[in-house]
Amino acid sequence: MITAYVRLEVRRTLRDAGFVISTIGVPVMMYLLFTNLGDGDDGAYKKAAMVGMAAYGALGAALSLGTGVAEDKSTGWLRQLRITPMTPRQVVTGRALTGSVVVLPAITGVLVAGGLANGVRMAAWQWGAVAVTLWLGSLPFTLLGLGNGYRLTAQTTGVVNVACNLGLAVVGGLWFPVVLFPDWLRTVSELTPTNRFAELGVAVTEGTAPGAATLVVLLGWAALFGTYAAVSYRRSARTV
């Protein structure tokens, strides 16, 4: 039942041209632009930026899922789902799984651009590991997007998601390396889920295991956003 639901929602998401362009096209373009503006041929930067942008793409895709949820609320689709035998838990789980499916193209898009256009070289297992860690690491953002979608109207969800997206991306150092930040901002940055999210990927590209602190921070955010999504859904259930 859930798989049927996930299949339907994934189809619906990937048919949304706006979604595909903004979550796959934009990170790939930004990556190629940022890494090829300077005339230097800094392989390390290209690799780090690749992971950062793949993370950014995943973040955007995960969050914009919330926009889809808010849209479903306004069209009455969520209401129709509630009178099918699917339980609310199955609906939310299905939506979260959809999120994890649709972040994949964003991640692979940037990785492919890094490997083919920018000549980033890594061991085969590292490519796989980067993709998988970024994929799993995007869960907190999927939950944040879902929470926004269930709680807010379609329009506010869009605005809030963009704010979350830009704020978390910039402060977390997905656009510019954290080393350029002043000390205080670097401290803040290390507490953001986005920073730790990118660090997951960086650790893998460097062939090391991610630190315990990174996992703790990410799991903490996942728990927080998960609760937010659950509470928001329960609240919306009354009004949906």
Partner 1 sequence: MTKDLRNEPAIAFRAATRTFGTAVRAVDGIDLTVRRGETVALLGRNGAGKSTAIALLLGLDEPDSGRVELFGGTPDRAVAAGRVGAMLQEGRPVPRVTVHELVAFVARTYPAPMPVAEALALAGLGELAGRRVDELSGGQTQRVRFAVALVGNPELIVLDEPTAALDVEARQEFWHSMRGYARRGNTVLFSTHYLEEADAYADRIVVLDSGRILAAGTSEELKRAAGGNLVSFDLAGGPTEWLGLLPGVTSYEVRGDRARLRTGDSDGTVRALAERDAVRRLEVTPVSLDDAFLALTQSPLTTLETVR
The answer to whether residues 203 and 218 touch, using CB atoms and an 8 Å cutoff, is: no
Tell which residue, 70, 62, 73, has the closest CA to residue 19.
Answer: 62
41-67: buried (b, 16+ CB within 10 Å) or exposed (e) per residue? eeeebbbbbbbbbbbbbbbbbbbbbbb
CB closer to partner 1 out of 4 and 123? 4
Per-residue x/- mask for partner 1, residues 24 to 63, rule CB under 8 A? ----------------------------------------
Strands in 24-179 per DSSP E: none
Interatomic CA distance for residues 18 and 187, integer angstroms: 35
Q: Can you tell me which residue has the tokens 């998988």?
A: 132
Among 38, 39, 40, 83, binds partner 1 (CB under 8 A): 83
Which tokens sit at 89?
A: 């838990």
* By CB under 8 A, residue 150 contacts partner 1: no
The size of the interface with partner 1 (CB under 8 A), counted in residues, is 25
* By CB under 8 A, residue 16 contacts partner 1: yes
Question: Which stretch, 76-84, 113-121, 139-147, 167-175, contacts partner 1 (CB under 8 A)?
Answer: 76-84
Alpha helices, DSSP H, located in 86-211: 88-116, 124-137, 139-151, 154-171, 183-191, 193-205
Among 82, 121, 234, 235, binds partner 1 (CB under 8 A): 82
Q: Which amino acid is at 166?
A: L
The answer to whether residues 49 and 34 touch, using CB atoms and an 8 Å cutoff, is: yes
State phi, psi for 46 to the nearest 5 degrees: -60, -35
* By CB under 8 A, residue 153 contacts partner 1: no
Among 12, 185, 189, 220, binds partner 1 (CB under 8 A): 12
* By CB under 8 A, residue 190 contacts partner 1: no
Among 15, 37, 124, 212, binds partner 1 (CB under 8 A): 15
* By CB under 8 A, residue 76 contacts partner 1: yes
Q: Can you tell me which residue has the tokens 């703790």?
A: 216
| Gyration radius from the chain CA atoms | 18
Q: Can you tell me which residue has the tokens 């062939």?
A: 207
* By CB under 8 A, residue 86 contacts partner 1: yes
* By CB under 8 A, residue 141 contacts partner 1: no
* By CB under 8 A, residue 1 contacts partner 1: yes
Among 33, 36, 41, 87, binds partner 1 (CB under 8 A): 87
Among 20, 26, 29, 77, binds partner 1 (CB under 8 A): 77
Residues engaged in binding partner 1 (CB under 8 A): 1, 4-5, 7-8, 11-12, 15-16, 71-72, 74-77, 79-80, 82-87, 238, 240
